[in-house]
């Protein structure tokens, strides 16, 4: 193998830059060239491809976002789009592609491998919703951003004796909401993996009030409903002085945490090794603190928000600790 390509795709995540850096540096260390593809699969179709050097990835390990830019690319979901991408791959003599992104990007990579180009996928999404890995790049940083917001909201919630509903991202997965709720001491956490029950939410609020608690934090994952929808229900069913806070895209930005930088460095380097070993379609991950490499097909063997991957014990603990 003489030349590989690297791209970032889908929703960006803090630590993507650290992963790009690791891919480039590891490949050059192994004596192979690396082409950077700009704007995800769209750039692959349009031929926005440039050779990267050691210096091209200098001073990016600490930066959020992605220097390669990212995109959602509907054209790549079509056969014609992918054939155009393959033409560029042949034109640039690319022999393998490292795809850094979420599960949609992984699906795209799987299609690419079926056209004969080896791929290695690095999980990067704040949603932490990829089967086969305990953690994705960006989750830890986003989690810390959410906790910082909860702590600040808690100050004003206490002063004004209010209930706050904080809406957290995660698409169809509840990991970000659950971890943030537990770490932020939320009274109630609503996640898509567990059915919510309005009377129970009200009962918990009432129990708090009875023992003198004047404020309350409710975390709702966007996959359940919007914070304003929940606020409306609360206000209709009981006159609770409620405020809403939707954290939105601040969860996707910021300098990556040390943990995300390390994970990204490990994943990126391992992806290059995977291609060099001759793997056709691999996913890289971290399972029980071990760096793992597994068939890309396995990622799609069950739904991304599969209940088996969901940490029910952690959910139960969050309930026990917030009585």
Distance (Å, whole) CA 33 – CA 25: 10
Could you say which of 127, 129, 140, 175 is catalytic? 127
Looking only at residues 5 through 24 of this chain, which bind ligand ADP when binding is defined by CB under 6 A?
Answer: 9-11
Instruction: Please check whether residue 318 is in contact with residue 189, taking contact to mean a CB–CB distance below 8 angstroms.
Output: yes
Residue 118 sits in the site that holds ligand F6P (CB under 6 A): no
Residue 41 sits in the site that holds ligand ADP (CB under 6 A): yes
Residue 102 sits in the site that holds ligand F6P (CB under 6 A): yes
Residue 127 sits in the site that holds ligand F6P (CB under 6 A): yes
Distance (Å, whole) CA 188 – CA 166: 10
Residue nearest to ligand F6P (CB): 11
- CA atoms within 13 Å, Cβ hemisphere of 114: 11
Q: Which of 17, 105, 125, 318 binds ligand F6P (CB under 6 A)?
A: 125
Q: Which of 8, 88, 105, 163 binds ligand ADP (CB under 6 A)?
A: 105
Distance (Å, whole) CA 109 – CA 133: 17
Instruction: Rank residues 143 and 276 by Cβ distance to ligand F6P and give the closer one.
Output: 143
Residue 171 sits in the site that holds ligand F6P (CB under 6 A): yes
- CA atoms within 13 Å, Cβ hemisphere of 190: 25
The distance of closest approach from Cβ of residue 154 to ligand ADP in the complex, given in angstroms and rounded to an integer, is 30
Residue 319 sits in the site that holds ligand ADP (CB under 6 A): no
305 as an active site residue: the answer is no
* Stretch 240-279: interaction string toward ligand F6P, x if CB under 6 A: ------------x---------------------------
Which amino acids are annotated catalytic?
127
Binding site for ligand F6P (CB under 6 A): 11, 102, 125-127, 169-171, 222, 252
């Amino acid at each position: 193998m003489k030349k590989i390509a690297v791209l970032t795709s889908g929703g960006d995540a803090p630590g993507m830059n650290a992963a790009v850096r690791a891919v480039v540096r590891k490949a050059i260390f192994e004596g192979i060239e690396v082409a950077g593809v700009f704007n995800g699969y769209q750039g692959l179709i349009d031929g926005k491809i440039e050779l990267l050097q050691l210096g091209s990835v200098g001073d990016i390990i600490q930066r959020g976002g992605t220097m390669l830019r990212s995109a959602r690319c509907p054209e790549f979901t079509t056969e014609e789009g992918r054939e155009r991408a393959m033409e560029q791959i042949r034109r640039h003599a690319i022999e393998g592609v490292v795809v850094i992104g979420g599960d949609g990007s992984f699906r795209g990579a799987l299609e690419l491998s079926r056209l004969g180009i080896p791929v290695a996928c690095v999980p990067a999404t704040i949603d932490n919703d990829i089967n086969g890995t305990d953690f994705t790049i960006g989750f830890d940083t986003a989690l810390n951003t959410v906790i910082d917001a909860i702590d600040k909201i808690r100050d004003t919630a206490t002063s004004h004796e209010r209930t706050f509903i904080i809406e957290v991202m995660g698409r169809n997965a509840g990991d970000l909401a659950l971890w943030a709720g537990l770490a932020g001491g939320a009274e109630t956490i609503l996640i898509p993996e567990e059915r919510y029950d309005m009377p129970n939410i009200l009962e918990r609020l009432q129990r708090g009030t009875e023992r003198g608690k004047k404020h309350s934090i409710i975390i709702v994952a966007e996959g359940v409903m919007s914070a304003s929808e929940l606020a409306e229900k609360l206000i209709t069913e009981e006159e609770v002085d409620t405020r809403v806070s939707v954290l939105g895209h601040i969860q996707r930005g910021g300098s990556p945490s040390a943990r995300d930088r390390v994970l990204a460095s490990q994943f990126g380097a391992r992806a290059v090794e995977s291609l060099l070993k001759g793997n056709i379609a691999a996913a890289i991950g971290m399972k029980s603190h071990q760096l793992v490499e597994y068939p890309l097909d396995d990622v799609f063997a069950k739904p991304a928000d599969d209940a088996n991957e969901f940490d029910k014990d952690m959910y139960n603990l969050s309930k026990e600790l917030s009585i």
